[in-house]
Amino acid sequence: MPELPEVEVICQGLQSHLLQQTILTVHCSGKNLRTRIDCQALQKELCNAKIVSLTRRAKYLLLKTDTGASLIIHLGMTGNLGIFPLHSAGKKHDHVCWLLGNNTELRYNDTRRFGSIRLLKKADSAKEEKDFFAALGPEPLSSACTTAYLVKKAEKRKQAIKSFLMDSHVIAGIGNIYANETLFTTGIHPGQPASSLSSKQWKRVLIALRKILKHAIACGGSTISDFVNASGEGGYFQMNFKIYGKTGEPCLQCRTHIEKIEVGGRASFFCPKCQKKLE
């Protein structure tokens, strides 16, 4: 599943192609995604509307128009958005296409159809947007995500630190890859209770997390499974993985073999020497 850096890369890649473009028509495949697609409503709300912004919130893309109508897009496991010339051949799993005023199409392709496209109608889009994102924690790269905030949130939490980092109610958008990489960088066992970390450790976690996310964005994301950016090109941050997916390989720091366990139902990779769990 595309994580925060991958969604940010797609967002940045699409902005120059979409901003100030008018949506002329909307076409749908007739197949639903994780949620139902009301193509008639998309046409009614979006046709002749001008795209004024495209931003990311957690792992969602938020597209706004000058009429007030908006789209909240989640890429699911295999979803991708790309810009294509009007008469170029479509692909089998193109499920929604927006024809733009410059004779290009924004196409949403999703092989497994686990993504979603939510329409916020112009009449009540502001309220719906606020309600939709109300439960999300702050962005990890924002000023609202501080060491003091994390210490307070983790207080009395017995939850494993890795699950805590991936809880979108605490921090928005941190997925499995970047939680693994952050904990290895800071020498913290993924099963360590969140409440056991000191303020100094939380500061190190936040610094490492931000550095890793920024590096991943600069690298164009991680090409895991079907991720490609808005231009159809894969990212290459996976070449910088230090721990993720490296079961049995020697640790880069101490040469101890990396192990894999499940934490919160997710694959967790760690070095048993560099990331010792406190008793």
Annotated catalytic residue, options 6, 8, 59, 113:
59
Q: Is 233 one of the catalytic residues?
A: no
Residues recorded for the chain: 279
Buried b / exposed e across 212-234, counting CB within 10 Å, b at 16+?
bbeebbebbbbbbebbbbbeeee
Question: Quick one: tokens of 180?
Answer: 């693994």
Element (H, E) at 16: helix 4-18
210 touches 167 (CB < 8 A) = no
The number of angstroms, rounded, from the C-alpha of 136 to the middle of its chain's C-alpha atoms is 13
As a 3-state breakdown, the chain gives helix, strand, coil percent values, each rounded to 5, of 30, 25, 45
Catalytic residue among 3, 45, 105, 139: 3
**Are 38 and 119 in contact, with CB atoms under 8 Å apart?**
yes
Q: Active-site residue 2, yes or no?
A: yes
Instruction: Identify whether 246 is a catalytic site residue.
Output: no
Q: Has 121 been annotated as catalytic?
A: no
| Active-site entry in 128, 266, 272, 277 | 266
Alpha carbon distances (Å) from 146 to 96, 119, 184: 39, 33, 20
**Active centre residues (catalytic):** 2-3, 59, 266
